[in-house]
Structure formats: structure tokens, C-alpha cells
Amino acid sequence: MHAGVGRQVTLLGSLPMADSALLDQMVSIAKGNAHVALIAKAMVGSAARGAVMRADGSFQADRLNEVISLQGLKDYAAGGLPVTFTLVAKGTEYRLALDRDQDGILDTEEVDRSLNPADPSTPVSRTACGAEGSSCVVNGKAVVRFGQGTRWHYAVQEGTVSCSVLTFGDPGGSAGTRACEIVAPQTAASQQKSAQNRLAQSQPSLVRRAATSTRAWWEPQRQAHGSTLAKLY
């Protein structure tokens, strides 16, 4: 583990020179580092908000289309809003700052949808987009996860993404067999289809009986009324 992990500074009001120097050092450590990431946390009203520093030095917030600059975070602190910056191990920043239940939907996005950001059972869709060592192409911006089985690291990505430990950190598992997947909230239609599929898998005999009883009801009618009724089915 990198020696800088756990280093922390909270900004509030005017920025003391020592705190400013420490934050600059933390930013420098995290930039381009495969082992360390920098996160920012703050309470905005009654809402806990988080952000992760991106490669360009700006911060991805816990709402997909929100990005804030480092200076913007400093301005919040200068205005009386405490902002805490922490160096964390690469691969943990997403869970710690953006998506506590790691279901692929950012915390504030879930609040916006009247969902529970601590409930990992929120239905999502996952689309394979690249094997380890290849590239994953993201249209716009999306949550992408890298790993295999039960071992995954998540990140908000856009454009062409390298499916690699350098990008996501090491989630464990067998190197060379891991992959990238794009994660997105399920639509109402896909949720209904998933529920139907789960029902069919868990209660196949019930589904078969229902189908049989339906055929038993209308098949004699088809035979009795011939082609006229056939057009209805």
C-alpha cells in the first residue's frame, strides 16, 4: 500500500498555508498514480456528497454529469462548507466517494430517483465492452466496472477506456481473464422482463400450467369458430 494512503486535510474558511501545501502535495501524489486516488467529501445541507479526482485534476461528483474543479471545491470551503480531501487506495475511491453500495448507480443519482443509495439490489443492466488489455468505448459518460466473478472495481468513464489495472486498480482474480462492463440503470421495460424471466426460472411448472390452461380455454374455441377466431391469435 502506498505510504500516502490515509492522508487527509479538511478545508474551511481561509486556507492556511500548511493546509494548502498539504493539499497540493496530495493532488500531486494522486495524479497518474496506479496505487492512490484522491477523494473529496462534504455535507451539502443534509446531503452527503462525494467526488473523485480525475486524470485532468477536476473532480467527478456523485451525480453522473456533475464535474467540479479543485478551485470550485476550495471556493465551497471558503464559503463556510467544510470539504475533506483524503488519499485512498486505488480501486476504493468509487465506493468511498461516489457509490457506497457499488450497484453501478451513483449515490445522488439514486436519491434523485427516490432510491436507497445504500441498497445494492437496485436493478441494473451490464453490457460487456472489452476484455482485459483491450479498450472499452463509452458513448458519452457511464459507470464502467473491471474485474470478474465477484471481484470488481468501478469508475465513471467516458470515451475510449483502457480495461486495465492502471485505469481501475487491481480487483483481484486471474490476470488476463478479467473484462470491462458498462453498467446502467434498468428501464421499466427491462425490469419487467427480468422479473418475468426470474419467475419463469423459479416456477417453471407454474408457468407451464398457466400456458396449458390458457390453451385449454381458447383452443376449443378456435376449433369451433375456425378461421375467424384464428385471426385474433
| Each residue's pLDDT expressed in tens, for the chain with a length of 233 residues | 677 899 999 999 887 888 889 999 999 999 988 899 999 999 988 889 999 999 999 999 999 999 999 999 999 999 999 999 999 999 999 999 999 999 999 999 999 999 999 999 999 999 999 999 999 999 999 999 999 999 999 999 999 999 999 999 999 999 999 999 999 988 654 444 444 444 455 554 433 333 333 232 223 333 443 433 233 32
CB atoms within 10 A of CB 58: 16
Largest CA distance in the chain: 91
CB atoms within 10 A of CB 208: 11
Given a contact cutoff of 8 angstroms between Cβ atoms, the answer to whether 133 and 116 are in contact is no
What ranges in 146-187 are assigned the alpha helix state H?
Answer: 165-168
The label of the residue with cell 492502471 reads: 166
- Grid coordinates standing for 203? 416456477
Residues ≥6 apart with Cβ < 8 Å to 97: 39, 40, 41, 50, 51, 52, 62
User: Across the strands, what pairs with 43?
Assistant: 48
Q: Per-domain residue ranges for the chain?
A: 8-110, 124-185, 206-233
- Grid coordinates standing for 177? 481473464
